[in-house]
């Protein structure tokens, strides 16, 4: 797990050393254990390392005998099997990131089809004059690019590209409208004009400082999983056990985040089966608030499997203290309040571990969201995904947001494939945008800011191929999603009570905001808020913050703090009130 970046200048030009320094400095938090640098011809690569596998020998860049070089962010979980399949290769390290370099030497751009893991990779092939950039099919690991007369720059975080001075921090209006209405931004274009995401599963070939080829490896492939209940449960058990097993490969301590929901409970059950020592599980709770606190249930689950359970209080004081740091970490913004407890859990977990397993992807692959039931209805009763936006009907913004569903429409059109059910189409839409551009960005930034690697066993390609291609009836049964996973969990860990009614995860941000009426004036006074919203309406919104309007208040507060850091350049010093008052 690392931060990677680089600059590919036009041929005949050397990469600017100061730009490389700024890229490395901006990504320092992603890799506190070492820094690597590579410069050859018109190519400069930098890497900050969080050492997880081959702690001493796995430093990057890694070079082969022919001068090809690789830097990578992520983990290749099947690296042991890949090495065994390359018996004639003289491996120089024990790193999981070396096999992709030798696979590229043998198979060219097809090398990614062999990789089982999460990754953003850069390979320099000096003989061809190419740099190859590749991102894993679900977009678990981030990768951003920017192009200009100076060539092409790439980095693990968009803010690193801005730190170089090559790209000015300008907000794209459509992306801002997406953020306000959806809480995340869609597609390949980021909120920053001139910075784009490498699409999940995309491989780029760069030469002379320009992209000359693009290839895409989809995360979701069509197939068929048939059989009776028992045979499907047996196959599910096998793919889950195999995925969790390889996701635990590490030379450092690891643990898990336990919410008490179906997905994390399933991970706990499998980790407890595979580990000879007690699983270390971390759970966040919100004492003294009106939201559901999951710790009692999580505590019972931990006791049932003999896990070591660490409970972390997230209080109102934490909200005001941590929010500026969270907004600063989320350079590619997602106004997802679940980032708050994720950040504090990572703060606590780093005292004991360097790797965390978490349940992201379970809802998308096994059909867990309630909105899927609406999408499954036959025409004309089918409901489009995310039909309404956060600010609809509130009369707070200066103008009605425009184009904020365009990215969703593109994803919906791409998801319509012959042979897919309506449920699969809805799942594919979420996997295209919501998953990589909200949930996975949130996890990546909050954990990496605290020196923790996050791993997501549900997004393993074998698990995904099995789950996505299940018949709909094994995903949604009456009013319950994740039906087959619930059936499996009922056998594997009955204490999880998987058939109980699901209680959504909520952070009491509206409750906390409502208790500080002076906050509305502070938010309304921010120039970035005045540019998009009517100040009097913002003050009224905060003065009457409740369950209905709370998410709009939260979104404006998040955006105000995000803008101060990433557009105005103000460091997040102090709590929310100090940051907004400075």
Active site amino acids: 2
**Reduced to 3 states, what is the DSSP secondary structure of residue 131?**
strand
Task: Considering only CA atoms, give the Rg of the chain.
Answer: 23
**Cα–Cα distance for residue pair 166/349, rounded to 1 Å:** 36
Cα 471 → chain centroid: 27
Pair type for strands 69-76 and 280-285: unpaired
- Give me 449's structure tokens: 């800011």
Write down the H helix ranges in 183-294: 229-247, 262-274
Cis amide bond preceding 380, omega within 30: yes
What single-letter DSSP state applies at residue 403?
A: S
CA dihedral of residues 479, 481, 487, 489 (deg, nearest 10): -130
CA distance 113 to 513: 47
Phi-psi region of 243 (alpha: psi -120 to 50; beta: other; left: phi over 0): alpha
Q: Under a CB-based contact definition with an 8 Å cutoff, are residues 466 and 235 in contact?
A: yes
Q: How many CB atoms lie within 10 A of CB 449?
A: 18
d(CA 312, CA 205): 45
Residue 60 phi/psi, 5-degree rounding, is: -120, 155
Helices (H), 339-482: 339-349, 362-366, 371-376, 406-415, 422-429, 440-448, 461-468
CB atoms within 10 A of CB 549: 20
Characterise 362 by phi-psi region: left (phi > 0), alpha (psi -120 to 50), beta (else): alpha
Contacts of 527 (CB under 8 A, 6+ apart): none
- Give the C-alpha separation, 513 to 26, whole Å: 32
Could you give the CA distance from residue 262 to residue 271 in angstroms, rounded to a whole number? 14
Calpha distance 513→549 (Å, rounded): 11
What sign does the CA torsion over 571, 574, 575, 580 have?
Answer: negative
Local structure of 259: helix, strand or coil: coil
The burial class, CB within 10 Å (0-12 / 13-18 / 19+), for 216 is: exposed
Residue 543: how many other CB atoms lie within 10 Å: 14
Contact 117, 76 (CB under 8 A): yes
Lateral strand order in the sheet of 453-455 = 308-313, 280-285, 254-257, 355-357, 453-455
């Amino acid at each position: 797990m690392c931060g990677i970046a680089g600059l590919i200048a036009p041929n005949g030009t050397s990469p600017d050393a100061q730009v490389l320094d700024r890229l490395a400095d901006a990504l320092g938090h992603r890799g506190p254990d070492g820094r690597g640098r590579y410069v050859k011809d018109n190519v400069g690569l930098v890497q900050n390392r969080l050492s997880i596998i081959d702690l001493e020998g796995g430093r990057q860049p890694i070079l082969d005998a022919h001068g090809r070089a690789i830097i990578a962010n992520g983990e290749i979980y099947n690296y042991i099997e890949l090495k065994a399949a390359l018996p004639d290769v003289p491996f120089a390290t024990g790193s999981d990131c070396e096999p992709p370099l030798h696979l590229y030497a043998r198979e060219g751009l097809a090398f990614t089809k062999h990789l089982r893991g999460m990754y953003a990779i850069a390979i320099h092939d000096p003989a061809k004059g190419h740099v190859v950039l590749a991102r894993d099919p679900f977009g678990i690991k981030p990768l951003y690019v920017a192009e200009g007369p100076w060539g092409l720059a790439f980095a693990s975080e968009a803010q690193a590209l801005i730190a170089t001075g090559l790209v000015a921090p300008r907000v794209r209006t459509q992306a801002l409208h997406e953020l306000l209405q959806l809480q995340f931004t869609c597609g390949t274009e980021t909120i920053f004009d001139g910075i784009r995401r490498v699409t999940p599963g995309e491989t780029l070939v760069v030469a002379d400082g320009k992209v000359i080829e693009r290839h895409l490896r989809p995360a979701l492939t069509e197939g068929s999983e048939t059989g009776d209940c028992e045979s499907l449960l047996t196959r599910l058990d096998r793919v889950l056990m195999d995925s969790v097993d390889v996701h635990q490969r590490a030379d450092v301590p690891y643990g898990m985040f336990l919410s008490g929901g179906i997905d994390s409970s399933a991970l706990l059950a499998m980790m407890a089966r595979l580990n000879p020592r007690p699983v270390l599980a971390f759970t966040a709770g919100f004492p003294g608030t009106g939201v559901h606190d999951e710790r009692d249930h999580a505590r019972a689950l931990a006791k049932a499997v003999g896990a070591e359970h660490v409970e972390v209080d997230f209080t109102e004081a934490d909200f005001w203290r941590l929010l500026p740091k969270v907004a600063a970490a989320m350079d590619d913004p997602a106004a997802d309040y679940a980032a708050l407890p994720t950040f504090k859990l990572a703060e606590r977990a780093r005292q004991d571990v360097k790797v965390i397993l978490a349940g992201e992807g379970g809802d998308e692959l096994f059909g867990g969201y309630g909105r899927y039931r609406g999408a499954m209805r036959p025409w004309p009763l089918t409901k489009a995904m995310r039909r309404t936006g956060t600010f609809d009907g509130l009369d707070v913004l200066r103008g009605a947001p425009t184009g904020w569903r365009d990215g969703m429409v593109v994803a919906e059109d791409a998801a319509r494939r012959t042979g897919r059910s309506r449920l699969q189409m809805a799942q594919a839409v979420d996997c295209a945008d919501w998953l990589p551009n909200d949930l996975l960005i949130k996890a990546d930034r909050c954990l990496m800011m605290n020196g923790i690697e996050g791993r997501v066993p549900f997004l393993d390609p074998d698990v995904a191929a099995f789950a996505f291609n299940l018949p709909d009836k094994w995903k949604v049964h009456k009013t319950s999603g994740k039906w087959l996973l619930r059936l499996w969990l009922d056998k594997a860990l009955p204490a999880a009570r998987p058939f109980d009614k699901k209680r959504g995860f909520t952070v009491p941000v509206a409750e906390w905001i409502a208790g500080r009426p002076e906050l509305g004036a502070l938010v309304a006074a921010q120039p970035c808020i005045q540019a998009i919203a009517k100040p009097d309406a913002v003050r009224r919104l905060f003065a009457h913050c409740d369950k209905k309007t709370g998410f709009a208040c939260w979104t404006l507060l998040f955006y105000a703090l995000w803008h101060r850091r990433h557009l105005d350049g103000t460091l997040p010093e102090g709590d929310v009130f100090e940051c907004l008052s400075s």
